Amino acid sequence: MARSYVFFAHGVGTHAPADWWLSWKETLITALRRFAPYDALSPDEIEREHLAFVPIRYDAVFEGYRKRWQSASRALADHDVIAQAGLADAFTWVAAQDGALQRAFWSHALDAVLWYALPQARAAVQALVAQQVAAGLADMVRSGGTGAHLIAHSLGTSVLHDALVGLVAADDVHHGVLRPAQLRWQSITMVANTSRLLKAWRDIDAQASLPQYDPYRSSLCPGREGSITDMYLSVRHQIDPITWPRRFAPVDWSPSRYSDVMTMHFRNPAEVHDLTHYLENPQVHLPLLRLVVGRAGLGTSAEIRRVWDQFRSAHPLTASTAFADLKRLFGDDGERRLDVRELAEFLTRAYRVLT
């Protein structure tokens, strides 16, 4: 049975090996079953006949560092690696904070900080993700899948961006079989997009130059020569603090190939960064599902009105001051590249509220 393949990539934090992605799958299938003709199918029938899911997991790389550097004092003892990455100031700052902030740093913010600052971690993650992407695409080809779709969340947006750029460039590794003509995604959906916030700022590998990793000019830019995707969706919530600094907002991408989705409804500010919360929103799942199942007209007016009524009833809020203090950490200049310590503080304070 020909199915669309949906690749999931997680964000920061530790994820259970077997089931971290199941709530995302179930949220998408539940949303799809609210629209004809899928309302007549069971979840098992949808998965068996229409959708296949490929989870991409890379948190084990960061978990290794987390276990080795479980306290700032122990991390600072590894001074050569820390100094090379510019992490000393970040760990010194963390060591001086209260217990809640320290827990938020070690459980969540550390992953993004290591990805941003430590070349060894970035290279290991990129290689691990590229391996899983290539295996998933190979399985799709063998099974006669109808197309590949990627949904990445938070840190995962930066990770998948770089992994895909590296795959395209690494001809000496895959002998050209993953050039844009072969490595095509019908859609790439970046939720809480950090690909600019965590953009590489020094050379990553020998195959691709640093400019090739520019999120605005890379091979993920839809509609341009050499692009590897037909459609790119970037999704953010207006009060999700992770999307505030260095917001992903290209001004010259084709509106027929790129969609910037900003959501506003929520029930609890602590949930606004959660991918399940994003996917529950019809403003997100409807255009996404239309791409994934290949039905531009998915959803009658009555069906869409009903799902919106249900969603707004469950998510009645549209404004909050929960994250107001975070903006002063980068002042009025949301475009300024944060140094490692600034990034660590911003993310740590954000995740203390979000988790």
| Residue owning tokens 């100031």 | 89
Residue 211: predicted pLDDT: 82
Residue 294: predicted pLDDT: 95
| Residue owning tokens 């259970």 | 16
List pLDDT tens digits, range 290-326: 999 999 999 999 999 999 999 999 999 999 999 988 8
Cα 236 → chain centroid: 11
Q: Cα(272)–Cα(319) distance, rounded to whole angstroms? A: 11
pLDDT above 80: residue 17? yes
Residue 328: predicted pLDDT: 83
Q: Cα(276)–Cα(24) distance, rounded to whole angstroms? A: 6
Mean pLDDT of 143-165: 95
Q: How many other CB atoms sit within 10 Å of the CB of residue 256?
A: 9
Q: List all residues 6 or more positions away from 248 whose beta carbon is below 8 Å from its beta carbon.
A: 190, 193, 194, 195, 196, 215, 234, 236
List pLDDT tens digits, range 206-227: 666 778 899 999 999 998 888 9
| Full residue range of the structural domain in which residue 8 is found | 4-354
Query: How many domains, in total, are found in the chain?
Result: 1
Residue 184: predicted pLDDT: 84
Among the ranges given (128-142, 227-241, 247-261), the one the predictor scored with the smallest mean pLDDT: 128-142
Q: Cα(173)–Cα(351) distance, rounded to whole angstroms? A: 37
Q: Cα(338)–Cα(329) distance, rounded to whole angstroms? A: 10
